[in-house]
A and B are shown apart, each in its own frame.
Chain A
């Protein structure tokens, strides 16, 4: 099976690095990173990743606004997006379900099974 490429959009470089490490060690996936919603949209257009892991709480354009932009963009709307977020309240969870993301992974995630979680949500095999 060809290696997957995942775009990680998170304003925290440290978290980008940890996600990259987890995906590489567990599934040998390639990762590209972006530190803001705007940069993430550009990277998604340019690299056409197989999936996007998107942090919700970011300054300037937050994760939800970024998702909406990705969804409205014909070049990126078919890329599945998984939200990566700290534990959230009931109303936020309902919102996430409503807007149509492919899934939500709660932080802190288990680093040794992050790729499996992503694969399960997207129907991929590792």
Chain B
């Protein structure tokens, strides 16, 4: 059970936390009402213990706010005020119980249990599952009436499973429910505790899979069987039941048919060997393409998404008939090898996340078969980028749907995220044929005219000012001077396609906790590490703890507004280049002008949708990190 303790008395809070933890409660403690509000509106608690006298927002105000926002969690109010009118006021504002300081901790623990029990639907004080019993009052666990000794975390896990005996809990849900917000466990920690719990239960004679793994979903108590239950579910299965039954079905089917996919993979491996020996007929190539297509369909259907992606890439590469460059052959080999490993994955439910950022797709135009491209391709595959090489200008134009004007909607959706054009001759000491060079330059112009948003990276041996200017005028977004190591090119590619910004730390300050929750949810597919803050007065302390890569500020907030926070940051020499974004409901130009005058990098209105917001944030992170990289390079060179 998870408890939020809001009390500014450090000594008392420490004592209470200790007592509650000893009773297997998971405790988050905060010292002021505003932070209490931020925590209670961000995390799910089973109980809140509130002190009356709190800084910023007192216990009564917090209690009122929680109730007015529809939070039904039990609240126990602690206070030194013992007037009858105070008690009445406390209970009237929505508290469920009231204790006067100094209090007896044993009595407090009993009151907490009573409150929790009242709030639970189960009336029975004992939780049981077959021969397994858990008594929440004495915190005793028994199997066949023999006591089972568990750690606090194991106890909490078991209690959660018993209270929701038909529910499947994902690892992430268990992390949220069992570990406090100050702990930073990994998924491996959860698995380790589950293993420990299973071992102890097994030691007492329980079945080893009493807590069973539901592949792709998480963990639950193993059904005590039940033809009866299965029968009732077959009429109206719940979503979870359906997921479980579907998964069980596809796991069985995959076991029975995996061999067919392995055979296809084997065919693809042989195809790579033949290609290397230049002994692959057009017919064999077409057959390999068909194999890759079928594999992509099959693996995707079974939720083996990594395998599906790799097979699709192989299929696309095999479309380039009949000639293969050395770079394409090494890419095929890398893809087929990785696909072999991906076939060992377990089937999963395919639940596409809407608006999730797709894997980045790169098109490399290399008509010269330059040797460094092979190495770059191998690195790109390892990085997980979908990379295709166009060995001729015609193939590149076809790949970019440049024959049709305007391009079809589907072509826009299928377009790559970056095009790299190689202007280096096949043999690095040779000079590129002038005619080919001119055609490649024309291609760059055409690409950027047709796809103005598509970044074009050019690698050239001639990057003096004149050539650089020419390339930029044609639309080149980034010009790298050859010689340059492939790893460095890849780093620029990754940077330009936003691939490396997924774990960036972003601090978001907004007094509207609901909006913060909403934004965090919207941005979830982009994997940012977002720290929400509703109380700007705690800004500096939290900022220095987190050291974020970016700060997102609301404007109107109590006590300190967003403009002031921006000024505070910009007044510090260290934070001159930190990206600061305003996210406000106000669209009026005066506010925007003020924000930019104070040093903001962007100003976004709150009506923005998830993916557009993500793009704006990614753009800023990209600029900032490119700048930082350049400074570091300059420092080394200088």
Contacts and interface: CB of A to CB of B under 8 A. Distances in A.
A18 interface: yes
A12 B298 contact: yes
A101 B613 CA distance: 38
Interface in B319-358: 349-352
A12 B294 contact: yes
A93 B245 CA distance: 34
B243 A110 contact: no
Contact of B302 (A18, A85, A93, A112): A18
Interface stretch (A20-28, A35-43, A73-81): A20-28
Interface string B243-255: 1011001100110
Contact of B293 (A15, A26, A86): A86
A3 B369 CA distance: 59
Given A14-B260, A90-B414, A111 B250 contact: yes
Contacts of B299: 108
Q: Pick the most buried of B257, B301, B302: most chain A CB atoms within 10 A of its CB.
A: B301
Nearest to B319: A89
Interface string A32-72: 00000000000000000000000101000000000000000
A112 B351 contact: yes
Contacts of A55: 297
B408 A111 contact: no
A124 interface: no
A108 B250 CA distance: 14
B246 A14 contact: no
B290 A57 contact: yes
Given A108-B301, A110-B351, A93 B410 contact: yes
Contacts of A108: 297, 299-301, 303, 305, 308, 350
B296 interface: yes
Interface residues of B, number: 36
Contacts of B545: none
A57 B297 CA distance: 10
B63 to A, nearest CB: 41
The interface residues of chain B, by DSSP majority, are classed as: helix
Contacts of B250: 18, 21, 111
Given A14-B257, A18-B302, A93-B410, A107 B297 contact: yes
A63 to B, nearest CB: 12
Contacts of A26: 242
A60 B212 CA distance: 45
Interface string A72-115: 00000000000001110110010000000000000111111000
Nearest to A14: B257
A78 to B, nearest CB: 28
A15 B246 contact: no
B147 interface: no
Given A18-B253, A21-B250, A110-B352, A86 B242 contact: no
Interface string B424-443: 00000000000000000000
Given A22-B246, A90-B408, A14 B253 contact: yes
Contact of A14 (B256, B303, B305, B352): B256
B239 interface: yes
Interface of A: 12-15, 17-18, 21-22, 25-26, 55, 57, 85-87, 89-90, 93, 107-112
| In the complex, the 9 A-B pairs of residues with the closest C-beta atoms, listed nearest first | A108-B300, A14-B257, A90-B410, A21-B249, A86-B297, A107-B297, A17-B253, A108-B350, A25-B242
